[in-house]
């Protein structure tokens, strides 16, 4: 086996082309399988990782006396991401079982009295709020289920509300460090403090949600048409009959899990001050929820999204191996050169590129691929903060244009088809999501430009 990495380091030669072509081809093939759903995305990622590692070992990409240990390093670097997912999954599963989220959602919906003019913004706002604190998958699952129940009871078209959940969730994922998986991945890599998200990306999350709301309202204006006073009175009577306590089996458990969830959220905000990782806070919340709820540990652990975790492990190994070939460094250099080393052109290039690729593939693998690209651009002298915040915004909102662009759309649309037999096709979704995406690209670029001009971006810890 030829140790190409060591040879390149010794001679200062450019990275070998063959490893870049072959392993880069594995990356493209994996993304193709994920985008077309020819294979389950977890299987596609693990298959891509196994193939890339085999090629890297044969071609001597890793280097060193024990080259395979590089694979462990790729996983070790992102263990914190996996820890947060495991810990928060347990907390959220127990809180959901207590009836807490159903209670909150029904209370808010009852405030609208079933008025379509108030119901859509309420659904959008609750979705953003749930995703902010519960992460995207459980937040969307809860909201999609609730929307289907409410629209069936009111005899409403569920499509605008389900689309609002799918698109609004990606705005909610911008709110905090742990709200969305791309946010968590990028925030961990960039070492961004939790509180900075409230300062920088939370206002953008709200703006993007408001923008998406008006687009959805416009495209579904016929379905959301007004009702006469008699119809509004009948709808109000139906909504008033909803029982927010219906799924609360034990009020004592309800209050205990509520307190644990609130304390976990506070812990996330204080993690850096306490000099601990978010994964530690998440595990503390999970352990507390298990101790004080009486929830069976086996059942709680089974609620953890293990396919997502395996997907991450495969993705981390695949991206790490591609990075070791020098291909991502080459991509970063191309973006740097096109932008002339200037920040605003770089932002204007990265934003639409990430939006489009995330919409085709899925925003999680795009985030994983772009993290080392941004790191390379920073190493070449570009300012870190604008690049990281641009990537965070583009990766999360980049899930909006297509039905497979984010886990939120996949979950919400699947629930609609399974429960109500209504399918939102690519054409319908692209019309709404594509319009939202175009407007949000301009919003992200303008937002970052304003932060640069007025020097509002907080410095990241060194």
* pLDDT at site 6: 41
DSSP code string of 316-376: HHHHHHHHHHTHHHHHHHHHHHHTTT-HHHHHHHHHHHHHHHHHHT-HHHHHHHHHHHHHH
Residue 405 has pLDDT above 60, yes or no: yes
In a domain, 158, yes or no: yes
* pLDDT at site 5: 45
Residue 430 has pLDDT above 60, yes or no: yes
Q: pLDDT tens-digit profile of 442-456?
A: 999 999 999 999 999
65 pLDDT tier (thresholds 50, 70, 90): confident
In a domain, 355, yes or no: no
11 pLDDT tier (thresholds 50, 70, 90): very low
Instruction: Give burial (CB, 10 Å; 0-12/13-18/19+) of 460.
Output: middle
* pLDDT at site 294: 85
Residue 84 has pLDDT above 90, yes or no: no
Residue 3 is given by DSSP the state -
In a domain, 442, yes or no: no
Q: How many domains does the chain have?
A: 1
Residue 87 vs residue 308, higher pLDDT: 87
Distance CA 61, CA 59 (A): 6
* pLDDT at site 15: 64
In a domain, 242, yes or no: yes
227 pLDDT tier (thresholds 50, 70, 90): low
CB 120 within 8 A of CB 216: yes
* pLDDT at site 17: 93
**pTM of the model as a whole:** 0.86
Among 339, 335, 406, smallest CA distance to 366 is for: 406
Distance CA 121, CA 116 (A): 9
Residue 165 has pLDDT above 70, yes or no: yes
CB 176 within 8 A of CB 84: no
CB 272 within 8 A of CB 177: no
In a domain, 99, yes or no: yes
361 pLDDT tier (thresholds 50, 70, 90): confident
Q: What percent of the chain has pLDDT above 70?
A: 96
Report how far apart, in Å, the C-alpha atoms of 101 and of each of 42, 88, 245, 415, 460 are: 28, 15, 11, 18, 34
CB 143 within 8 A of CB 105: yes
In a domain, 422, yes or no: no
Q: pLDDT tens-digit profile of 284-312?
A: 999 999 999 888 899 888 888 788 889 88
Host domain of residue 145: 80-302
């Amino acid at each position: 086996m030829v140790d190409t990495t060591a040879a390149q380091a010794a001679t200062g030669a450019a990275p070998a082309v063959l490893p870049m072509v072959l392993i880069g081809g594995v990356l493209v093939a994996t993304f193709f399988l994920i985008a077309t759903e020819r294979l389950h995305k977890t299987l596609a990622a693990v298959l891509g990782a196994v193939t890339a590692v085999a090629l890297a070992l044969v071609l001597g990409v890793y280097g060193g006396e024990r080259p395979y240990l590089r694979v462990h390093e790729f996983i070790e670097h992102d263990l914190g991401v996996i820890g947060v997912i495991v810990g928060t999954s347990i907390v959220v599963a127990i809180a959901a079982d207590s009836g807490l989220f159903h209670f909150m959602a029904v209370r808010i919906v009852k405030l609208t009295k079933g008025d379509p003019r108030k119901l859509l913004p309420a659904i959008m706002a609750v979705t953003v709020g749930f995703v902010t604190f519960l992460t995207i998958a459980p937040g969307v699952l809860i909201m999609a289920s609730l929307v289907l129940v409410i629209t069936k009871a009111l005899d409403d078209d569920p499509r605008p509300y389900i689309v609002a959940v799918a698109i609004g969730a990606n705005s909610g994922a911008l709110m905090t460090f742990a709200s969305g998986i791309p946010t968590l991945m990028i925030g961990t890599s960039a070492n961004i403090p939790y509180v900075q998200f409230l300062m920088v990306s939370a206002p953008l999350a709200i703006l993007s949600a408001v923008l998406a709301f008006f687009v959805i309202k416009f495209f579904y204006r016929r379905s959301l048409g007004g009702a006469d006073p008699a119809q509004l009175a009948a709808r109000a009577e139906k909504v008033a009959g909803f029982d927010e306590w219906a799924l609360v089996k034990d009020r004592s458990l309800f209050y205990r899990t509520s307190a644990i969830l609130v304390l976990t959220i506070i812990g996330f905000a204080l993690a850096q001050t306490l000099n601990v990782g978010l994964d530690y806070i998440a595990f503390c919340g999970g352990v507390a929820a298990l101790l004080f709820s009486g929830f069976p540990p086996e059942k709680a652990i089974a609620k953890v999204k293990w396919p997502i975790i395996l997907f991450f492990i495969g993705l981390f190994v695949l991206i790490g191996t591609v990075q070791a070939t020098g291909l991502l460094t080459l991509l970063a250099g191309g973006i740097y050169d096109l932008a002339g080393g200037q920040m605003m052109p770089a932002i204007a290039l990265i934003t639409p590129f990430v939006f489009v690729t995330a919409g085709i593939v899925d925003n999680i693998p795009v985030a994983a691929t772009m993290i080392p690209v941004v790191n390379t651009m920073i190493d070449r002298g570009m300012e870190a903060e604008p690049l990281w915040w641009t990537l965070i915004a583009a990766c999360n909102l980049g899930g909006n244009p297509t039905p497979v662009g984010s886990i939120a759309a996949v979950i919400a649309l699947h629930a609609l088809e399974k429960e109500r037999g209504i399918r939102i096709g690519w054409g319908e979704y692209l019309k709404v999501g594509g319009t939202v995406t175009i407007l949000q690209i301009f919003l992200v670029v303008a937002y970052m430009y304003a932060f640069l001009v007025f020097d509002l971006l907080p410095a990241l810890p060194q």
